[in-house]
Every structure is written in structure tokens, then in C-alpha cells.
Structure 1
Amino acid sequence: MAFRDGPFENLKVPLVWTAMAVVGVGLIASIMLLLADGKSGEADDHFGPVRAGFTTGAGSVGGVFAAPVRWAGHVTEYVGGYFNAVEENRRLKRELAELQPWRDQAIALKNVNARYETLLGLRTEPPVAMATARSISEARGPFVNSRLIDAGSSKGVKVGNPVINEHGLVGRIVGVAPGVSRMLLVTDVASRIPVLIDRSDARAMLTGDGSGNPRLEYVRGQDSVRSGDRVLSSGDGGGIPRGVPIGVVAKGIDGSWRVKLFSDRGAIDYVRVMLFEDFGQLANPETLNAPPLAALDTAPPPTADQAAAIGDAQARRQAATEETARRAAQAAAAPPPAAATPSAPVPAPPERPA
């Protein structure tokens, strides 16, 4: 519908009055701007109160008129973000797919580093040299439980060396090559390890039977074993150092005492071989070969009082020795006592015939 067909088609506004109204509004706005922009530091400022009132009113009016503009900006941003959400979601999915393999690798490296730090932090008392190795293959059967590790004689590994992980004893070395070694697990039927009960200090033999929990045999003593007792290596026989953690005692289904191994708490893929042969290597050869009186040579010199006391004691011992010798000489120089005179003559013995 055209403007002339509407309800204002008969309305006629004089052009002169319209122009005068526009000019009046422009003049008023100019005056207000001049009042608001004028300097207020002059002493003869007569329009200060008017300017202050105008500024106050203009601030309120400006805030009212600026609110719709702000709202419109927020609405525009919201609508723009809504329409861009699909593209943003696709981009984030692509980045997530790219970062997924990196996250898996980071988790694996974190676990490996944690195990390495734990293995490198193992300390024995007295200290024993160790070689770090990795399990490279496994032989598991109804009677044989063994593994190959990538450490051999080139690293000082020998037959009989105990093998541990970050939790406890794993097994012993039964075969050595320059680059690899065979490790017999404590669960193997050929495994025999002397152990002790930490609570009662009772001795026993840890015997593998192919299951995950080896048996405790030859336990001596009344009430020497209870469920929950810690089992350690006893060091008997000199094959394994004393005090290596092995496991916890538990009652088996068949009524026998069995041991839950500490080494089962984690994977046996990283281990440390204790380069231990016998207890003689833990002692200092110089200390063993030193003479018993070697410590006297390093003793501090005696003080003046101690020297005087030692001299008095030596003088008394010398005087006692001289007195004993003098008495012995007097006793030797004295004449023997006279023999008693008989009361009757002693008859002569009869003569024998020629």
C-alpha cells in the first residue's frame, strides 16, 4: 500500500515550519554540546551548575540508549557462535583424533619411567651391585616357569644371581650367555629358596609347584606361621642376601601354607639382577687381612696422668719381682736341717754268699 493510500494521505505539513523545527532542534543540541565541552577551571564560569546538571542528565540518558546497543552486540555474538558451533565441533574432533595417539604414548612412557625410577631407587644393606634387564621371552608350562632377559655375562651376570623387580624377589639365574640369561621363577617346580618369617624369625623352605603361590615347607616351631606374616629371604646357604622381600603367608585350599608373591603386583618385564655370589664379597678384604693389633698403632698417645699411673704400676710390678727373687735366693742359701739321731743302732744287713 502506497503512502498516499494510507491514513496519512490527507496530512499536509508546511515545509517552512518543518525547516524551522529542525533548525531549532539543531541549535538546542549545539548549545548543549558547547555547555558540556566548555572548560570548568575558569573563575568566571557562570554555567558550571548548568553544565553539571546537563552532564548528569546526559550520562543517564546515554546509559539508557547504550544498553540496547550492548544487548544487540551480545545477541550478534551469540548468534554468530551458534552458527559457527558446527565448524568448531568438527575442528575439535580432528584435533582430538590427532592427539589420541600422543596421549597413549605419553601414558605408556609415564608408566615406564615410573618403573625405571622405582628400580633405580632400590637399595640393599649392605649395598650390592645390580644390573638392569628386560624380559624378552617367556616359557610357561605345567612344570616350567622361566624367562629370558637381555643381560648376560657381559654385564657381570652369573649363575645363581637373584633377580628382583620393584616389589620383591622374582627368581634366580640358571643359565648365562654373553648377551642373555635364563631366569628361573620362584614358582617353578625346581625352585627352592630358604626363607624366614619376619614376625617369629622361623626358618622354612619356599618350594615352587607350578602354581602362582609357592608352598612353605619344613616350618619349625609352635605358632611360628600365621596368615599375613611377611616372608623374607633368610640368607642361608649364601645364595641370596638376607632380607629380600618375597611375599605374604596365606592358608591354601588344601590346608598348606602358601605365599602370595610381592612380585605379582606388577608385570615382570623390567627386572634387576643382583650381582651377588656369597657374603665374602660384601666384606672389605683389607679389614679381614689386617692384623688384630693394627688398631693399637692408631691409638692416641696417653696423657700425663695416664703415663704416671702406668709408670707406678710398672714400678710396683718390678719391686714385687725383685722381692720374690730375693726370698728365693735366701731360701736356697740356708743350710739343710740336721737329721734326727736314732735311739737304737740299725742292724747291718746279712752278708750274701759269694
Structure 2
Amino acid sequence: MAFRDGPFENIKVPLVWTAAVSVAVAAVLAVFLLFSDNGAEASPYQPARAGVETVSGPVGGVFAAPVRWFGHVSDYIGGYFFAVSENRRLKRELAELEPWRDQAIALKNINARYEAMLGLRPEPAVPMLTARSVSDSRGPFSNARLLDTGAAKGVKIGNPVINEHGLVGRVVGTSGNVSRMLLLTDVASRTPVLIDRTDARAILTGDGSGNPRLEFVRGVGSVQPGDRILTSGDGGGYPRGVPIGVAAKGIDGSWRVKLFSDRGAIDYVKVLLFEDFGQLVGGADLNAPPLAALDTLPDATGSQVAAINDAAARRTAAAQAQAERVRAANAAPPPAQAQAPVRQPAGPPPARPAAPPPAQPATQQTPPGATE
């Protein structure tokens, strides 16, 4: 039966009103997408965007709750039916991990002793803040989430976000009580990383897929399948040593990373209140001169300061004496040139014949001495 033969054949929809309503709905959607877009961090629409995120955060949490509950119920039912096989697998893994645990404890003790002997300082602790993911913003080129904590609790743009498995992403926008987290898989994500086995540097680049790529890897053969990927801390955006995933060879031949954070749902996360290394060491240590002045040393080194001052005074006196000797040596040649002409007239050949006359009286005095 055709539409015109049905009960609605006499309904007439005004074309003008239909077009007006369509334009209004499209304008509202465009404004919503403009305010909720996170493509540009610095935008004149940032205050309005923050308001939209503040409102959409709790609403998204309400709509996301049934999905999380359904996931928990399905996991519970699956775990109930597969409890026996899961128990066997866990016992087997526990037996395999016990030797590794003992080795890890022994190595930890040895490292602590080495650090104490060498005077090394371990990595400082980073303050953390627990948050909950209340919404999921996904698309062909965007992977981001909203967290139910914001600038009111100290969250700032650039703070790393982790879960119980590893690094998840970083904060790219904040408002009062809501912040936006950019996942590692987003096309705008760039993370400096290192390969744990070879300490080679690389850049972890998101491309919208579930496994980001490793680019600009330094060194030939520095990456192998199964190598652990950690944050390198280069640039000061991330702390060093945060686990990310393991390396794997992609179908296209490029190196990719299987993220640790995909092992479980990203419901509860921790925001590292980390900006850069200067936040952890203090401004006084960073602004201190390379070498402290001698007069600022503690009283316990007073004898050392006196010895250093005496040595400096002796070196100064020796340098002055050397300078005086050099000046005296430079002034000595003119007198030597003045005596040379005087010696030349005293030694001409005519003066030498005058020596025999004194010798004659000596020969005359000898006979009287002999007669006596």
C-alpha cells in the first residue's frame, strides 16, 4: 500500500517550517561540536567549551553507568563459568613467578646497597590524584575522555594519566571540576619513549588505531618483539620509567606498541600532578650557582678556607717576584754594553810591553838575598 493510500494521505507538512526547523537543529549541533571540540587548545571559545564539558561530564557519567554495569555483570558471569580453568591457570602462573619474585627481592636489596654506597638519589615521588572516567569521546581521528576532576584539585594541562597497568594519556584541557584526557592512540598524541632493553630513544605516535607506532627509533636493531616500552622523560613532560607497553611488528612492517592500559577497562585512573623536573627539586636548587663562594662555606671548613687563602697569597707573591726578576733582567743589558768599550782600550798590544820592566828589579834583588 502506498503512503498516499494510507490514513496519513491528507497530512500536509509546510515546507518552510520544515526547512527552518532543520536549519535550527543543524545550528545547535554545529555550536555543540564547536564548543566540545578539543582540536585547538588556545581558542576564544575556551570558556564556553569549559562550560559545555562541565555540564556534559556528569550527564555522560549517568549514561555511561549502565554500560559499565553491563560489562561488570558479563565479566562476573564469564568468571563464574570459567572459574576452574582460571584457577588452574593462575596457580601455574604463580608457580612460574615465585622464582622471579625472589630474584626481584634480592636485586632490590643489592640496588639499595649500591645506591647507599655511591650516594645516588632515587627518583623523587610524584603526587597523584584519583579520578574517574565519566565519558568517552571517540571518532575516526579523536580518542579522548573526560575525567571528574579538574583545576580545582590542582590538575593542569600536560599532567600524565595512568591506570593500574600503565600510561593512558595526558591532560589537554581543564575546567573547575572536569578535565579532558587525550589517549595515547589519538592522532595528536606524541610521547618520548625508550626501549628498556637497549635504552634506545623513540617517539610514540598515535594514529587512531589501538596500537600506536614507534617512530624515529635510534640505532639499528635496537627494537625486538616483546621489548618493554617506557617513558624516557626527555623534554620534561613525563617522569622517566612509566610503563607503556611492549613492541610488536605491525602488518605494514612498522613497529607498534601493545599498550598495557588495554588490559582492563579505563574506569578509574590516577593523574600525576607532574609538570617538569623543576617541580620536584625546588627553585633554590635550580637557581644556585655552579660553585658556591668560599665565604659561604660552613664553619666546619674554616681551616680549609684559611689554607686556600694562604696558598693563593703565596702564589700571588711568587708571581710578583717573578715579574720583578723579569723586569730586572730586561734592564741589565744596557750597563753591559757600556763596559765593553772601556775594556777594549785597556787591552791593546802597546800596553803589553810595559810588563817586562817590573821583572828586571826582581832579578836584581835575588843576588843580595842569596849573599845574605
SS in 1 for 2:335: coil
Report the more deviating stretch, 179-188 or 313-322: 313-322
**CA distance in structure 2 between the partners assigned to 1:182 and 1:161 by the alignment:** 11
Alignment of 1:240-255 (within 5 A): 240-255=238-253
1:335–1:154 Cα change, 3 Å:
same
Distance in 1 (CA, whole Å) between partners of 2:225 and 2:285 is 43
TM-score, with structure 1 as normaliser: 0.53
For residues 58-113 of structure 1, give each alpha carbon's deviation from its aligned partner in whole angstroms, at most 9, with x where no partner exists: xxxxxxxxxxxxxxxxxxxxxxxxxxxxxxxxxxxxxxxxxxxxxx9xxxxxxxxx
Structure 2 residue 345 is the aligned partner of structure 1 residue 325: no
**How far apart are 1:331 and its partner, in Å?**
5.5
Residue among 256, 262, 265 paired with 2:263 = 265
Paired with 2:246 and 2:196, the residues of 1 have a C-alpha distance of: 10
Q: 1:322 to 1:188 in 2, by over 3 A?
A: closer
For residue 128 of structure 1, report the CA deviation from its aligned partner. 2.1
Aligned counterparts of 1:146 and 1:323: Cα–Cα separation in 2: 75
Q: Relative to structure 1, is the Cα distance of residues 307 and 260 closer, same or farther in structure 2, using a 3 angstrom cutoff?
A: same
Given the superposition, is the C-alpha separation of residues 315 and 258 from structure 1 closer, same or farther in structure 2, using an over 3 Å criterion? Answer: closer
**Distance change (3 Å), C-alpha of 1:168 and 1:328:** same
User: Greater CA radius of gyration, 1 or 2?
Assistant: 1
Kindly indicate whether residue 242 of structure 2 is the aligned counterpart of residue 208 of structure 1: no
Question: CA RMSD, aligned part only?
Answer: 3.5
Deviates more, 1:323-332 or 1:170-179: 323-332
In the other structure, the counterpart of 2:104 is none
Quote the Cα distance in structure 2 between the aligned partners of 1:213 and 1:312.
65
Distance 2:149 2:163 in 1: 14
Using the alignment, how far apart are the partners of 1:308 and 1:209 within structure 2? 65
**Larger deviation: 136-145 or 312-321?**
312-321
Q: How does 1:112-127 map to 2 (within 5 A)?
A: 125-127=123-125
Residues in 1 aligned to 2:338 and 2:243: alpha-carbon distance in whole angstroms: 87
User: How many positions carry a matched residue from both structures?
Assistant: 219
Secondary structure of residue in 1 paired with 2:130: strand
Aligned partners of 2:318 and 2:135: how far apart in 1?
A: 84
Cα offset, 1:225, TM superposition: 0.7
| In 1, Cα distance between equivalents of 2:311 and 2:136 | 78
2:337 is aligned to 337
* C-alpha deviation, 1:186, in angstroms: 0.6
Note the alpha carbon deviations across 1:292-333, whole angstroms, 9 max, x for none: 2257612634669x9789868966874674475367447637
2:221 to 223, 228, 253: 223
Structure-2 change in CA distance of 1:234 and 1:336 (3 Å): same
Structure 1 residues 303 and 239, CA gap change in structure 2 (3 angstroms): closer
Aligned residue type for 1:137? S
Q: Which residue of 1 aligns with 2:167?
A: 169
Q: Which of 284, 287, 296 is 1:286 aligned to?
A: 284
Structure 1: stretches of 5+ with no match in the other structure? 1-103, 105-123, 342-354
Report the Cα offset of residue 276 of structure 1.
1.9
- The answer as to whether partners of 2:278 and 2:286 remain within 8 angstroms in 1 is no
Q: 3-state SS of the aligned residue for 2:156?
A: coil
Normalization by structure 2: what TM-score?
Answer: 0.51
| Separation (CA, whole Å) in 1 of partners of 2:315 and 2:243 | 61
- Give the aligned residue type for 2:142: V
Cα distance per residue 1:12-64 (max 9 Å; x no partner) = xxxxxxxxxxxxxxxxxxxxxxxxxxxxxxxxxxxxxxxxxxxxxxxxxxxxx
C-alpha change, 1:257 and 1:338, in structure 2 (3 Å) is same
User: Would the alpha carbon gap of residues 320 and 133 (structure 1) be closer, same or farther in structure 2, given more than 3 Å must change?
Assistant: closer
Over 3 Å counting, the alpha-carbon distance change for 1:133 and 1:294 in structure 2 is farther
Can you list the C-alpha shifts for 1:106-152, whole angstroms capped at 9, x where unaligned?
xxxxxxxxxxxxxxxxxx92222222111111123333221111110
Instruction: In structure 2, give the amino acid aligned to 1:191.
Output: S
SS of equivalent to 1:335: helix
Structure 2 vs 1, CA of residues 317 and 278 (structure 1 numbering), >3 Å: closer, same or farther? closer
How far, CA to CA, are the matches of 2:193 and 2:131 in structure 1?
Answer: 25
Shift in Å, 1:193:
1.3
Shift of 1:270: 1.1
State the Cα distance separating 1:278 from its structure 2 match: 2.3
Pick aligned residue for 2:128 from 120, 127, 130: 130
After superposition, residues 1-354 of structure 1 pair within 5 angstroms as 125-291=123-289, 292-294=291-293, 297-298=297-298, 300-301=300-301, 318=317, 321-322=320-321, 325=324, 328-329=327-328, 332=331, 335=335, 337-338=337-338
Alpha-carbon distance change, 307 to 264 in structure 1, aligned in 2, over 3 angstroms: same
- Structure 2 residue matching 1:133: 3-state secondary structure: strand
Supply the AA of the counterpart residue of 2:245: G
In 2: Cα distance, 1:186 partner to 1:219 partner: 18
User: The residue matched to 1:277 in structure 2 has which SS?
Assistant: coil
Task: Give the C-alpha shift of residue 256 in structure 1.
Answer: 1.9
Summarize the Cα distance change of 1:316–1:148 in structure 2 as closer, same or farther, 3 Å threshold.
closer
Task: Calculate percent identity across the aligned residue pairs.
Answer: 66
Aligned partners of 1:175, 1:316: CA distance in 2, in Å?
A: 62
Query: What do the CA deviations read for 1:327-351 (whole angstroms, capped 9, x no partner)?
Result: 744763763624998xxxxxxxxxx
